[in-house]
Structure 1
Amino acid sequence: MKRESNHRTGAGKQSLGGGKVALTDTRVKALKPKEKGYFVTDGGQPNLTLHVLPSGRKSWRYRYTIPETGRSSSFTIGQYPAIGLARAREIARELAKKVASGVDPVIEKKRKREEVRAAKKREKARSKFTFRKATDRYLAGRERSISDSHYKRMRRAFDNDCAPLHDKPLAEITVGDIRGIINTIKGRGAVETAKKTLYALRDLFDTAIEDWGEEWATDNVAASIAPKKLFAGQIKTHYPAIKDPDELRPLLAAIEDWGKWSNERTISRSHRPTALALKLLILTATRPSVARLARWEWIDEEKAIMTVPASAKGVKKRVENHGTAEPYRTPLSKQALAVLEEAKQWARDNGREGCEYVFPSVRHGCRPLSDAALSNALRTMGFDVVAHGFRSTFSTIANEAGKDPIEVEYQLGHSFGSEAHRAYQRSDLLERRRELMQWWGDFIEGLSDGRS
């Protein structure tokens, strides 16, 4: 009885020296709660105590003093029975080694907890700045300033070709990641797509760095890849185009026949707007997007001018050396004006008179022709050319006919001369180009009726 009394007296003291008897699992289980919490010291492991709470909960504690500072503290190891006696002693021995080396277990635990909290915070933040979310934001900001075809092309590249990057934070994407994506595209033979994807990625990173903040990205890894080296040895291809007038003649006849379908089919199958758009494209040598998206408000028939505003959506603009988009103006020949008159007549005959577009889609009310309509029509007619190739046709034939190359380049909407020249020469040479385009209209008309 005396020994039991001494043990209980020692157990009630909150002191490291309260008894030298080693605890056992049986004795630990037998400890009962009291009105006030108390500590029981394990004689089998120095500084290991068991805190018994009034609720009956039992918690292992390690009492220690840091030698260098003299600071005393208590470290909570965990609850019993989740942590048994043997494991509690093992942990206490590990803590003793840390204390001997000057490490404070309480401070270390707090630091690790903060590191875990910070890591979770970083992980949460990472999910906000992924490549997928970056591309969505980037394209949302570009949608109104680029053509529909350009937008769709970038959307496909980001969604499909760049799929391995979707869930990765933009800031963690490496040069190797970008190179892998581009090489995969190259590997399937889509060299031009690979180039355009690389340039889109470079612009994406530039936009993120300059406009969105460093939480998105701080380094343009795509810009670290030199296109000349990556695409070294690749053969540059041009748009397929007709360069010989003798080859152009049957194509003009095919376009005319294609347009006559409107007299033989219902309006939903009519090819007339497509044929007229191809005619205007050939007669003006503009970009295909200008022809198919042409609006009546751009046309001044009295002055025989079509003016494409710099703000026009979906149309590639002429960009001067000072970086601002300028309105593009093209003179309209007598033949071009005749095409526009035909377009008006077709609109009147088919209930499209109020449409804003010169060449509305025959299937979708007043919406414009699709971006593939012109080139698809040419392929259906059996010609291995694309709509953009007519610009090359015009340039080749005009230059071979001895026309002023400066006027030809300006008609194509290209810059000409040195940067200093362009800084001072602000005219688009519209009046000089009138004679050029009337010559071209007469030439095309002559091919059509057999005179040229």
Structure 2
Amino acid sequence: METTMLTETQIKKTKPESKMVRLKDTAGLAIEIRPTGAKVFTKEYRFDGRHRKDTLGEFPEVSLAGARARALEINAAVKRGEDPRANDLRHIQKVRLLQAKVAEEEAAKEAVVPHERRFDVVAEAFIDKRALEGVAQSTLDKLNWNLGSLARGKFKGRDIGSIKPPEILGLIEAIQAEDKIEKAKDIHRKLSQVFDYAIGLGLVEWNPAQMTKRAVVRRKGGRHPGLTEAKDVGALMRAIRLYPDGSGQNTRAALLLSAYCFLRSNELRGAVWSEIDFEKATWSVPAERMKGHKGIHIVPLARQPLEILKALREWEGEDVDPDAYIFPMSFRGDRYMSEATLNAGLRRLGYNTRTQHCHHGFRTTFSTNMNEQGWNRDWIERQLCHTDKDDVRMAYNKALYLEGRSKMMQAYADWLDKVELENQKA
């Protein structure tokens, strides 16, 4: 049979539809035209007896010729018995080492700035201070990611007093231009905190980030869309259940647990096995991972999420470390699943996370339907861990309404299964 090869003209002319369109090329290469308009190259292959599907990049940033070359490289690596992903990691490490060396050489050429006045030094000291204050690991991760990238890049070696408002404005506007509004806000906020810290150290007399706060786009509330109609929720559950195998197994399980337990992203992604009590059917989320650090949060586990966790546990084997992450990163077992993974998974299923349903939207789905079904509002609010700032008893009584909440959680899980089955029959 003659193999049909793609052309760039064909890719450009193919328009997005309500469902993903997949165009095949040669050597296991394909391009997915997603409902969002993104055109992404993927490569399927088998390694070590397992099916894999790797993302090679988005068209036109990655050309058809470049994607084909990478597909052939993967095939060649598999034929040699080498893991293509390991090859990618080695390549990334080499590139990073080269970039670091170039950056060091450039920094050496610049005028000498007193060590204590360097932006990167001040930023690192601020991050260390926040760590000593006992902030959540997710907060430290964001500080290291956002401030660290500036300390290693744009502002590395700069005298903190030489950074002016127009530079910060240009940085923030560039991020906003990519429609990364929340990231722009977060970086701006953390820059402002570093400059306030520098004022306290006597290094600067004013905060240039504060002078640009009007430039940061501020979206109104309602930024967490969630499906509430039974037929729509059923379709979502069905879509998650059919999430592609291979590398998507953990994502599918995480999304299903999100639907049944509706924890916030960090509360779910950072979970370790010791938090799950299979005998009591509870999930105890520690205070440091809860919003506001308001004590341990107990999630009564209905039959369905408990079965998912048992299956994941059996997959890990008998000797799993109690402190091991339930959802580790693919190549970094010492770190948990990326913050972007869950929303990316929903987008892969065809949902617009800005207007239809995002990960936080599972909480909206639960709240709306349980309130409509007449369940006790105190049980609902406690399960969502919504507490008044002054209500200490509510915050720290981790077992509050536990018996009632257990009944409610099972009823909700059964309702999700019911609407999913109705969607399957429709």
Please give the TM-score of this superposition, normalised by the length of structure 2: 0.59
Aligned equivalent of 1:335, options 304, 308, 323: 304
Q: Which has the larger radius of gyration?
A: 1
Question: 1:239 is matched with which residue?
Answer: 224
Structure with more contact order per residue of length (Cα contacts < 8 Å, sep ≥ 6): 2
Q: Which segment is superposed worse, 385-394 or 139-148? A: 139-148
Unaligned stretches of 5+ residues in structure 1: 1-122, 262-268
Question: 2:71 is matched with which residue?
Answer: none
Judge conservation of contact 2:287–2:294 (CA < 8 Å) in 1.
yes
* Counterpart Cα distance in 2 of 1:363 and 1:233: 35
SS of residue in 2 equivalent to 1:286: coil
- CA 344–408 in structure 1, closer or farther in 2 if over 3 Å, else same: same
Question: 2:348 is matched with which residue?
Answer: 380
Aligned equivalent of 2:286, options 309, 317, 320: 309
- CA 163–361 in structure 1, closer or farther in 2 if over 3 Å, else same: closer
1:264-343 aligned within 5 A: 269-311=246-288, 315=289, 317-319=290-292, 325-343=294-312
* Counterpart Cα distance in 1 of 2:154 and 2:218: 27
Judge conservation of contact 1:318–1:328 (CA < 8 Å) in 2.
no
- One-letter amino acid matched to 2:408: L
* Counterpart Cα distance in 1 of 2:349 and 2:304: 23
- One-letter amino acid matched to 1:441: A
CA RMSD of aligned residues (A): 3.7
Please give the TM-score of this superposition, normalised by the length of structure 1: 0.56
Judge conservation of contact 2:120–2:151 (CA < 8 Å) in 1.
no
SS of residue in 2 equivalent to 1:306: strand
What is the CA deviation profile of residues 46-82 of structure 1, one whole-angstrom value per residue up to 9, with x for unaligned ones?
A: xxxxxxxxxxxxxxxxxxxxxxxxxxxxxxxxxxxxx
Question: 1:436 is matched with which residue?
Answer: 408
SS of residue in 1 equivalent to 2:299: strand
SS of residue in 2 equivalent to 1:330: strand
Judge conservation of contact 1:258–1:275 (CA < 8 Å) in 2.
yes
Judge conservation of contact 1:299–1:306 (CA < 8 Å) in 2.
yes
* Counterpart Cα distance in 2 of 1:344 and 1:219: 53
Give the percent of matched residue pairs that are identical in Structure 1 and Structure 2. 25
The size of the alignment, in residue pairs, is: 304
- One-letter amino acid matched to 1:334: R
Judge conservation of contact 1:407–1:433 (CA < 8 Å) in 2.
yes
What displacement does 1:298 show? 0.5
What displacement does 1:442 show? 1.8
Aligned equivalent of 2:366, options 358, 374, 394: 394
Judge conservation of contact 1:139–1:151 (CA < 8 Å) in 2.
no
1:106-121 aligned within 5 A: none
* Counterpart Cα distance in 2 of 1:295 and 1:339: 15
1:134 pairs with 2:106: no
Judge conservation of contact 1:307–1:330 (CA < 8 Å) in 2.
yes
1:182 pairs with 2:172: yes
Unaligned stretches of 5+ residues in structure 2: 1-110
